[in-house]
């Protein structure tokens, strides 16, 4: 089995554990609310990972405080920067983020020993890295779902899952859409696509 697959499996295991532990805090913090989203929340480039979530009550309060009640309904729902809950239990993700630092050293220093990326140019290397983190995110969230982590009454039945970024660039937007396609219902994914296409239009006018 090639080296990158082993690294991917290791990160999936670590991140599934961290998210499972964080979900126990989330369920207590928002136990009387209606949680509609849960996502792997990344810095651009995926050099740091945490989690974010949002409840209907939290989103309504956020909109009221910012005076954005007239925004399209989907905007706050599918944009993680507008959400109400971000993990502050940073220690739960210390092992994950230390491992990610090691991964980037491996990726950029050419330490994969199976010849997978020897001939990659910069664009090809980033495609490899983004696909790596999409695969990790999708599998972790599928693990959580199959393990019953979202079965509590505080979670809506049709839960929005995926990747989110605080200030997504064009590469992050692609990752949001690709992960959503593998995880979400048709109705949620349509909202994600509308949002992603809206951001792409903004990038094209800059």
- Condensed to tens digits (0 to 9), the pLDDT of residues 128-176 reads 999 999 999 999 999 999 999 999 999 999 999 999 999 999 999 999 9
Q: What angle do CA 145, 149, 154 make, to 5 degrees?
A: 110
Q: How many whole angstroms separate alpha carbon 45 and alpha carbon 172?
A: 8
Nearest-10 Cα torsion for 6, 131, 41, 184: -110
pLDDT at 65: 76
199 has a pLDDT exceeding 80: yes
What is the model's pLDDT at position 114?
Answer: 54
- The total of other beta-carbon atoms located within 10 Å of residue 86's CB is 15
Residue 1 pLDDT: 46
109 or 57: which carries more pLDDT confidence? 57
- Give strand pairing partners of 85: 53
69-128 pLDDT per residue, tens = 567 878 899 999 999 999 999 999 999 999 999 999 998 886 665 555 556 778 888 899
Q: Are 161 and 52 in contact (CB under 8 A)?
A: no
Rounded CA-CA distance 159/185 in Å is 9
| Residues 172 and 142 sit within 8 Å (Cβ to Cβ) | no
Does residue 67 come out as left (phi exceeding 0), alpha (psi in the -120 to 50 range) or beta? left
* Domain residue limits, the chain: 3-205
Q: What integer pLDDT is reported at residue 12 of this predicted model?
A: 98
Q: Quote the pTM value.
A: 0.93
Alpha helices in 94-185 (DSSP H): 94-109, 122-146, 170-183
């Amino acid at each position: 089995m090639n080296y990158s697959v082993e690294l991917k499996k290791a990160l999936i295991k670590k991140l599934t554990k961290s998210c499972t532990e964080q979900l126990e805090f989330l369920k207590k913090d928002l136990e009387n609310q209606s949680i509609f989203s849960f996502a792997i929340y990344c810095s651009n480039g995926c050099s740091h990972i945490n989690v974010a979530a949002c409840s209907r009550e939290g989103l309504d309060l956020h909109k009221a405080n910012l005076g954005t009640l007239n925004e399209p309904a989907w905007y706050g729902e599918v944009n993680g920067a507008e959400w109400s809950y971000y993990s502050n239990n940073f220690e739960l993700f210390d092992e994950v983020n230390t491992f990610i630092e090691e991964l980037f050293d491996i990726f950029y220093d050419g330490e994969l020993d199976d010849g997978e990326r020897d001939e990659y140019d910069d664009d090809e290397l980033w495609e490899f890295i983004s696909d790596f983190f999409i695969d990790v995110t999708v599998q972790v969230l599928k693990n959580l779902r199959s393990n019953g982590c979202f079965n509590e009454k505080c979670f809506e039945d049709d839960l929005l899952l995926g990747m989110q970024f605080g200030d997504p660039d064009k590469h992050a937007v692609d990752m949001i859409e690709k992960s959503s396609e593998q995880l979400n219902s048709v109705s949620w994914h349509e909202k994600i696509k509308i949002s992603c296409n809206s951001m792409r239009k903004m990038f094209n006018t800059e």
